[in-house]
Structures are given as structure tokens and as C-alpha cells.
Amino acid sequence: MTHVLLFHHALGLTPGLHEIADVLRGDGHEVTLPDLFEGRTFATVEEGVAHASEVGFGVLTERGVAAADALPADLVYAGVSLGVMPAQMLAQTRPGARAAVLLEAAVPTGEFGSWPAGVPVQVHGMDGDEFFAGEDLPAARALVEEASATARAELFLYPGDGHLFVDPSSPTHDAAASGQVLDRVRAMLREVG
């Protein structure tokens, strides 16, 4: 079994993310959910992003690093939207990563160096999501191409335009698509476990 470090999105640490963690725990994995917003949650992505901007994206990333520092090195790093930033950075820079799961966002790998050899990755997003398809899809495609040179690397696109569709507590939740995401993530965790 694996230990997953799962970073939340701009709405904060929502009940839906706890539900996702519980599904993975039900498979026998350990899941750590750091609260980068220190207890704050938001009703809209815009409010959450405004809070993140006020706190500082660098500070949020430092909080993510601090959460990882308290854990073993051989983690699976996962993040949803805003949470992809610390997840991807740690997967690329902290030795020992087992895998990465990037949900609804991707960052150009050059931001953190290059993709580490042998670290599998999954990227999931909706093909009509203004944030993912409109902004991050080229980075996701490039990341998967780079990572596939030495590991299993997959990009999954789902029909729809919802952002935060994987979170069961989000108003844009898509049960069918998020079910597919969880099935694919669970399969990957079995492979790397």
C-alpha cells in the first residue's frame, strides 16, 4: 500500500476531499490531507484564489513542503487544481516520489527542473474547463510526453466544462467523470504500491 499526500484546491479542505481520501483509505492506503488554508474554506474558486493570492502562493507552497517534511520520502503526491502546484513541485524535487496524480491542473515541468526518471504520473481534466483546457492543457501534454520517456505517464480528458468536478462537495461535481478518475487513480496506486 502507498502513502498519498493530497493537496486541496482553492475552495480549501472540503468535505468532498475527505470523501476522496476515505475511498483511498478504504483500499488500504494512508492519506494525508494538509490544510494549506489553515481552516479557511470558500464558496467560489474566485474567493479561494483571492485568498491564496493574499497569503502568497510561495507561502502556500512552503506549507506544502512542511507537510511533506513530516512524512516519509516514498510518497504519491496528489493535488487538485491549486493543490497541483505543491504536489507537482514535490514530485519533481523531493527524492523518493512513487508517483504523481495531478487533478484539473498542470504546471510546465521547467518551473521545477525536469520530470524525475521513473516516476509515473496521471493528469486528469475536463476538455472544456476554462482553467484546465484553456490554460494548463499544453503543460499537461508536455509533462506527459516528458515523463513517458522513463515511466508510465497518462493524460485523461473527460467531456465537460466543470472545474473541481472531482470534488463531491463542489457545485460542479460530475459523478460519472469523477468515478472514472477515482477508478484510474486507484488502479495506479495498486501498481505503485
Task: Sketch out the chain's domains with CATH numbers.
Answer: 3-192 (3.40.50.1820)
72 near 98, Cβ under 8 Å? no
| The pLDDT of residue 193 is above 90 | no
Residue 111: predicted pLDDT: 94
Does this model's pTM top 0.85? My answer is yes
Instruction: Give start and end residues of each alpha helix (H) in 94-164.
Output: 137-147
DSSP one-letter code for 182: H
Question: Could you read off the pLDDT of 125-176 as tens digits, one per residue?
Answer: 999 999 999 999 999 999 999 999 999 999 999 999 999 999 999 999 999 9
Instruction: Give start and end residues of each alpha helix (H) in 36-192.
Output: 45-55, 57-69, 84-93, 137-147, 175-192
Average pLDDT of the chain is 96
Residue 90: predicted pLDDT: 97
Average of pLDDT values for 65-83?
A: 97
